Amino acid sequence: MMKFKTKKEMTLPQLIEWAWENSIKHKEFTGSRNGIVEFDFRGWVRTDLIEPDEFFEVEVEEEITEDTKIPTLIELFVSGYGQIIHTYYRTSIRETIGEVVKGVDALPKAFYILNDDMTMTLIWRNGELVK
């Protein structure tokens, strides 16, 4: 199954749980209100002045399914007008296919994720997810 990296906001308890489940070590996180959470070389946690409503941004890897909400999804489809590219935001492949099937006499050929560095990664083609 293909994976992609995405950024998630977490509360302090969510951050600690995620870090321990993923054996995070030697890493420091700064929160939305400048509180600091540090995981040392053993994975032990240290905190400094964390406010109750503080959030931490974490980059996580997620498996891609046709139901995964993709931050920026690029679709290539072919219609009577030729090849057309369409961009969707925060939507899934399944939602996009449903929209196309209802609206146009065209079938999607491929879907890509737009990466942070403006490159694209092929995730779906010819009716199925890329392995």
Q: pLDDT tens across 9-57, in order?
A: 999 999 999 999 999 999 999 999 999 999 999 999 999 999 999 999 9
pLDDT of 5: 79
The pTM for the full model equals: 0.64
Q: Is 4 exposed, middle or buried (0-12, 13-18, 19+ CB in 10 A)?
A: middle
Q: Which tens digit of pLDDT belongs to each residue from 88-108?
A: 999 999 898 876 555 556 678
pLDDT of 77: 85
Whether the pLDDT of residue 79 is over 80: the answer is: no
Dist CA 42 CA 25 (whole Å): 6
pLDDT of 126: 85
**What letter represents residue 75's amino acid?**
E
**Radius of gyration (Cα) for the chain, nearest Å?**
19
pLDDT of 105: 60
